[in-house]
Amino acid sequence: MKLDKNTRSKYQLVIGLEVHVQLQSKSKIFAADLNQYGGEPNTHISPISLAHPGTLPLLNRKVVEYAIKMGLACHCQITQQTYFDRKNYFYPDLPKGYQITQDKTPICRGGKVPIRPNQPALQPEDRSTEVLIHHIHLEEDAGKLVHLAGESESQVDFNRAGTPLIEIVTEPCMHYPEEAYAVLTEIRKLIRYLDICDGNMEEGSMRCDANVSVKLHDAPELGRKVEVKNMNSIRNVQRAIEHEWDRQIWLIEQGESIVSETRTFDAATGTTAAMRYKEELNDYRYFPEPDLSPMDISDKWLEQIQASMPSLPYELENKFSEQYGLPEHDLDVLTDSKEVALFYDTFCQHTTYYKAAANWVMGPIKSFLNDSGKSITEFPLTYQQLSELTELVASDRVSFAAASQKIFPALLDNPEVSPTTLAEKLNLFQESNTDSLQTLVNEVVADFPDKVTAYRKGKKGLLGMFMGEVMKRSQGKANPKIANELLRKALS
Ligand code: ADP
Ligand code: MG
């Protein structure tokens, strides 16, 4: 199955995502059992989660608050009069025989997520900047079937049954696998900033189904879609879509048609395989959940939630770009976690060397945290110390190498001593005195008359050798900028 570029460019790829996010409330969505990943099978269960006759669900308000937070973060419209529906189907991991979900009145409608896809093949102006959300609804998770190796029977663990979920459903508005990658990365950032989910795709606290179709560019209608499941990382969602893209075009080119089906992704081969055929019309016999009363979300409650919203990644990115002038790469690294982003933002209240501050956070500080296993909230130095360190480098008094490799570790060992004192003690101040540097330059020029002639005849590459000599004689402390200028002058 090999596609040439021309064949592929006849078709437009269409992607819509369904993202399930487990909300990390203490208890489940309709019962008081512990909402916690793992644990001995069938220990976080109650008669309500198991749907014993006579039990009634009771809605956990925290879960509603979390869903509204995500809706506000995505600029959705919040549905203030909303209710739950029953979705009926049989599966062994579904104790009730139905799932409580929202069909007609999802808690959030519309909205969008900003993205910055990495698509080197496209002009910047052709890259999309947002993904539209169709809706976000609340629902409960099912239990889990456990298939033990070598056993002919499967077992059921109901711990997960009743775990609160939001399902974020996008419009079929994406046309490149990189856009799916970018929107999932942003969604994961958002749920982490909001503290509503850890976004761990390996453990399944965030899961994504990718709906993929292709069509000829001028075809008026969307092609028939295939749903791909079982990707345990954002990268694998992208790979699954890349594979479907080629597979579907290839089939169509062979004169075959696409069947509506659910496929599973195999990370080892990067391919998808048919899992089950999707009937054109699934009959879930949805009807309003009679055991729960409709919800009325008051203006006052909405305002309270709005007021409790933390800084969001895209807000901080805009600030870092506009106020601190950081390039895109730095924005991605610094806003990856809320704690790091807020640390950098506070750092910038103590210095005006914004880019230098970013380099300190992304370089020496991150390495220290990695090596020590500490989180940035436990970082032992003060912003004053960091700003003094930044200024020593920015004013050319100490080289970045000396500051990051000598002063920074010394400071971590002796946080009570100031960076300037340490620079003195360790004899790290750069020689910026023009007179004494000039003396060194003159000596070097006098000691290598042949090389000077060669340089003047055009062997400009020799400048590096002269610089090396000046550095050596200054014991590495010559201010490279000044030494370079003086050398050029002396040699010309
Ligand atoms: P279904 O009725 O099968 O549940 P929906 O219309 O509810 O389908 O859409 C489910 C998801 O599939 C949404 O994320 C939507 O954006 C996406 N989707 C719908 N149609 C297509 C299509 N033709 N190609 C790709 N994705 C699609
Ligand atoms: Mg649907």
CA distance 324 to 198: 29
Boundaries of every domain in the chain: 5-296, 434-491
pLDDT of residue 278: 67
Ligand 1 pocket: which of 225, 252, 280 to mutate (most atoms <8 Å of CB)?
225
- DSSP characters over 318-339: HHHHHTT---HHHHHHHHSSHH
Q: How far is the CA of 35 from the centre of ligand 1 (A)?
A: 30
Q: Is 14 in the pocket of ligand 1 (CB under 6 A)?
A: yes
Prediction pTM value: 0.89
pLDDT of residue 279: 59
Q: How far is the CA of 224 from the centre of ligand 1 (A)?
A: 9
Closest CA to 143 of 228, 28, 60: 28
Contact 455, 444 (CB under 8 A): no
Q: Count the alpha carbons within 13 Å of 470 in the hemisphere toward its beta carbon.
A: 31
Fold of 434-491: Arc Repressor Mutant, subunit A (1.10.10)
Q: How far is the CA of 278 from the centre of ligand 2 (A)?
A: 12
Q: Is 284 in the pocket of ligand 1 (CB under 6 A)?
A: no
Give, using CA atoms, the residue closest to atom 22 of ligand 1.
225
Closest CA to 186 of 171, 168, 204: 168
pLDDT of residue 478: 83
Q: Is 222 in the pocket of ligand 1 (CB under 6 A)?
A: yes
pLDDT of residue 281: 61
Q: How far is the CA of 19 from the centre of ligand 2 (A)?
A: 12
Q: Is 171 in the pocket of ligand 1 (CB under 6 A)?
A: yes
Phi, psi of 429 (to 5 degrees): -65, 135
Q: How far is the CA of 181 from the centre of ligand 1 (A)?
A: 18
pLDDT of residue 105: 98
pLDDT of residue 448: 92
Paired residues of 226 in beta bridges: 212
pLDDT along the chain (492 residues), means of 10: 85 98 97 92 94 94 98 98 96 94 98 94 92 98 92 93 98 98 98 98 97 96 96 98 97 94 96 80 88 97 98 97 96 96 98 96 96 95 95 88 92 92 88 82 91 91 90 82 88 86
Paired residues of 270 in beta bridges: none
Q: Is 169 in the pocket of ligand 1 (CB under 6 A)?
A: yes
pLDDT of residue 136: 98
Q: How far is the CA of 109 from the centre of ligand 1 (A)?
A: 16
pLDDT of residue 244: 97
Rounded to the nearest angstrom, the gap between the alpha carbon of residue 80 and the centroid of all alpha carbons in its chain is 30
- Residue 22 DSSP class: E
